[in-house]
Amino acid sequence: MGILSWTLLIPALGAVLMMFLPSRDSYTEKSSASIYGWIAFAVSTLTMIVSIFVLSNFDNSMVAYQFQENIKWIPQFGLNYHIGIDGISILLFMLTTILMPVTVLSSFKYIQKRKKEYYIWLLFLEFTMLGAFVALNLFIFYIFWELMLIPMFFLIGIWGGTRRIYATVKFVLFTVVGSLMMLAGIIYLAILARNTFGEFTFEFEQLLKLDIPVQTQLWLFAAFALAFAIKVPMFPFHTWLPDAHVEAPTAGSVILAGVLLKMGCYGFVRLGIPLFGEAALIAAPLMQTLAVIGIVYGACLALAQSDLKKLVAYSSISHLGYVILGLFALTPEAIQGSILQMVNHGISTGALFLLVGMLYERRHTREIADFGGLAHQLPVYATVFMIITLSSVALPGTNGFVGEFLILLGSFKAAWAHFVMHQEVFRLILMVFATSGVILGAYYMLWMVQRVFFGPLTNEKNKNLKDLSLREGLVLIPFIIFVFWIGLYPKPYLSKMEVSVNHYVEQYQPEALKEQLIEAPQHTETIEHKTEDVHTEH
């Protein structure tokens, strides 16, 4: 068995083994540290270590999937356990394994009932998420995709807030509606494959070779896109997200924002665009429009929130709008930006949820109006919060900027090429609105910071708040490191995906756009040449 399988197996085994441990803590026991917490932490840390081996043996220059494993499962239906990883999935894979120990650590205090179950579900969730990122067989992908719902269902449904049942049902129903559409699409694809190749297959590589008529592609794309769009979530399928986030326990929110939402984006980049290339190009203006609506709309809604967690949840919708915008621009800058932005969003929004959760543990409220003037009382907490806020508003020097900048720049480049080709102004207008997100983003975040941290400390209940503890500090430090590392030196991250993305763009970028874009670099060369001349003259 290969190393990649181990990263899946460790959390799965951990979860299974934990089931056989005696339930030492009853439903009512109140103790902050728990043996189950530490076990889950150890298991997820081990997974992370193994994944770092994967990363260090990852070959940046290879286009093909690496660490492939292909085991026949039900060969007559083409169901194989086929996994592998490439430059597009490696960063998301790593994000998951690194976020996991952190979220486990952050749950120690918050989770006070049914601890064993809770950590079992967390580990099981890790298994399913990692599985979805490495699956190379559409059926396996679908299984992981759907399995993910089960732990999330329990995490929100049992350990959530007061309206958790409503939120859980809404979350599951929304997601399932999309997934079933996708399932229908998957079965249709398999039948198409049988008609073409003479046997059922769900292998990505095989399915990509299918020659599907455009009309059919459009239907299939719609089915898949619905599933992904709900998961992202894109406007107008987003209303499950704020409810789920508000009710979920902190760790649930972190995982939800950090990884689960990326499944939708990942679905688009891995399946939606490659499988139905022509349909995706036809749908691109629509998808980009929805993405831009999401950017502006999500930001406006974040502005209107009085609950901290809801504000962060709506900001997610805005941030993920950027990701979708970039994916459908199909330029190397935009796609690399989008993938990086998925990671960035996991870092900054994940950290924001953690921070809000820490505040909630202290005050048992998330109403912005209950706070004010906290900066003086909690200087270190406020500093960390400020840094993460800046990353969220994409201040240059932080990770958020690199992602957002690349997406906007790359998308603008594509929009401009479309404009030059067919005088199409629409995409340029979209870009103006998309860029305006930087204003609204700063507005809702800084306004929130002002109301929570600045001004006089008037509320009596806030006067005895304690600053960050050592455990909380340890949880947050990795986030701060990544904020600046990616912001100042993104090369290690970008170089991981460079070859894969270039290959991807090469394949799926429309021919006309490609030709249009090739003209620009010629200018560059002459210019660089000229400037060199100018320099040497003196």
Partner 1 sequence: MENSLILFIVLLPLVGAILNGTVAATNAFRKKEIWGEKIAGIIAFTAVGISFLLSLYAVFVKMSGLEYISCTPYEWISIGELKVSVTFLIDHLSAVMLLVVTGVSSVIHFYSIGYIHGDESSVRYFSYLNLFVFAMLLLILGDSMPVMFVGWEGVGLCSYLLIGFWYKDDEKAAAGKKAFIVNRIGDFGFLLGMFLIFANVGTLTISGVNEFFHANNSMTFFWTNVAGICLFIGATGKSAQIPLYVWLPDAMAGPTPVSALIHAATMVTAGVYMVARFHGLFLAAPIAMNVVLWVGAITALFSASIALYQNDIKKVLAYSTVSQLGFMFMAAGAGAFVIAIFHLMTHAFFKACLFLGSGSVIHAMGGEQDIRYMGGLKQFMPATFITFLLATIAIAGFPPLAGFFSKDEILWNVFASEHGSKIVWFIGAVAALFTAFYMFRLVYLTFYGNFRGTREQEHHLHESPKTMTVPLMILAALSVVGGWIGIPKLLSFGAIPNFFHDFVGPAVEKFGHVHIAHYSHAVEYSLMALSVAIAFAGWYIARSMFRDLKHKLPDPDKYTGLPRLLWNKYFIDEIYIKYIVDPIKSLSTNVFLNISDKKLIDGAANGSASGWNKVAGIFSKFQTGNIQAYGFYMIFGAAIAVLFVLFVF
Of residues 474-533, those binding partner 1 (CB under 8 A): 488-491, 494, 498, 502, 520-521, 523-524, 526-528, 530-531
Per-residue CA distances from 215 to 279, 468, 525 (Å) = 8, 57, 42
Q: Between residues 170 and 345, which has the closer beta carbon with respect to partner 1?
A: 170
d(CA 392, CA 298): 14
Backbone angles phi, psi at 222, to 5 degrees: -60, -40
| Residue tagged 């459009």 (tokens) | 218
Q: Between residues 287 and 494, which has the closer beta carbon with respect to partner 1?
A: 494
Residues 301-320, interacting with partner 1 (CB under 8 A): 301, 303-304
Residues 423-462, interacting with partner 1 (CB under 8 A): 431-432, 435-436, 438-439, 442-443, 446-447, 449-450, 453-457
Among 246, 351, 408, 430, binds partner 1 (CB under 8 A): 408
Note every long-range contact of 54-57, with CB atoms under 8 Å and residues 24 or more positions apart, other chains counting.
Answer: 54/3, 54/4, 54/7, 54/85, 54/90, 54/93, 55/90, 55/94, 57/3
Task: List, as one string, the DSSP characters of 455-504.
Answer: S----GGGGG-----HHHHHHHHHHHHHHHHHHH--HHHHHHHHHHHHHH
Residues 174-193, interacting with partner 1 (CB under 8 A): 174
413 Cβ neighbours under 8 A, 6+ residues apart: 329, 331, 333, 334, 517
Q: Which residues pair with 70 in a beta bridge?
A: 82
CB of 167 closer than 8 Å to CB of 244 = yes
Site stretch for partner 1 (CB under 8 A), options 23-31, 115-123, 125-133, 407-415: 407-415
Residues 122-151, interacting with partner 1 (CB under 8 A): none
Min separation Cβ 436 and partner 1, Å: 6
CB of 187 closer than 8 Å to CB of 180 = no
Interface with partner 1 includes 465 (CB under 8 A)? no
Residues 228-257, interacting with partner 1 (CB under 8 A): 236, 238-239
Min separation Cβ 293 and partner 1, Å: 11
Q: Between residues 9 and 442, which has the closer beta carbon with respect to partner 1?
A: 442
Min separation Cβ 160 and partner 1, Å: 18
Give the tokens for residue 282: 């036809």
Min separation Cβ 3 and partner 1, Å: 29
Q: Between residues 364 and 535, which has the closer beta carbon with respect to partner 1?
A: 535
Min separation Cβ 501 and partner 1, Å: 8
Site stretch for partner 1 (CB under 8 A), options 28-36, 181-189, 330-338, 352-360: 330-338
Residues 89-118, interacting with partner 1 (CB under 8 A): none
Min separation Cβ 177 and partner 1, Å: 9
Min separation Cβ 99 and partner 1, Å: 25
Min separation Cβ 423 and partner 1, Å: 12
Among 170, 231, 245, 496, binds partner 1 (CB under 8 A): 170
Min separation Cβ 333 and partner 1, Å: 5
114 Cβ neighbours under 8 A, 6+ residues apart: 27, 158, 159
Q: Between residues 53 and 489, which has the closer beta carbon with respect to partner 1?
A: 489
Q: Between residues 11 and 294, which has the closer beta carbon with respect to partner 1?
A: 294
CB of 255 closer than 8 Å to CB of 345 = no
Among 291, 417, 476, 513, binds partner 1 (CB under 8 A): 417
Q: Which residues pair with 71 in a beta bridge?
A: 81
Binding residues for partner 1, rule CB under 8 A, total: 72
Residue 180: exposed, middle, or buried by beta-carbon count in 10 A (0-12, 13-18, 19+)?
middle
Return the C-alpha torsion angle 505, 507, 509, 512, nearest 10: 130
Site stretch for partner 1 (CB under 8 A), options 14-22, 74-82, 120-128, 411-419: 411-419
Q: Between residues 511 and 533, which has the closer beta carbon with respect to partner 1?
A: 533
Tell how strand 79-85 and strand 66-74 pair up.
Answer: antiparallel
Residues 194-213, interacting with partner 1 (CB under 8 A): none
Return the C-alpha torsion angle 201, 205, 211, 216, nearest 10: 70
Other Cβ atoms within 10 Å of 370 Cβ, number: 16
Residue 408: exposed, middle, or buried by beta-carbon count in 10 A (0-12, 13-18, 19+)?
buried
What are the helix and strand counts (H, E) for the chain? 23, 2
Residues 338-397, interacting with partner 1 (CB under 8 A): 373, 375-376, 379-380, 383, 390, 395-397
Cis peptide before 233 (omega within 30 of 0): yes
Q: Between residues 86 and 126, which has the closer beta carbon with respect to partner 1?
A: 86
Min separation Cβ 273 and partner 1, Å: 18
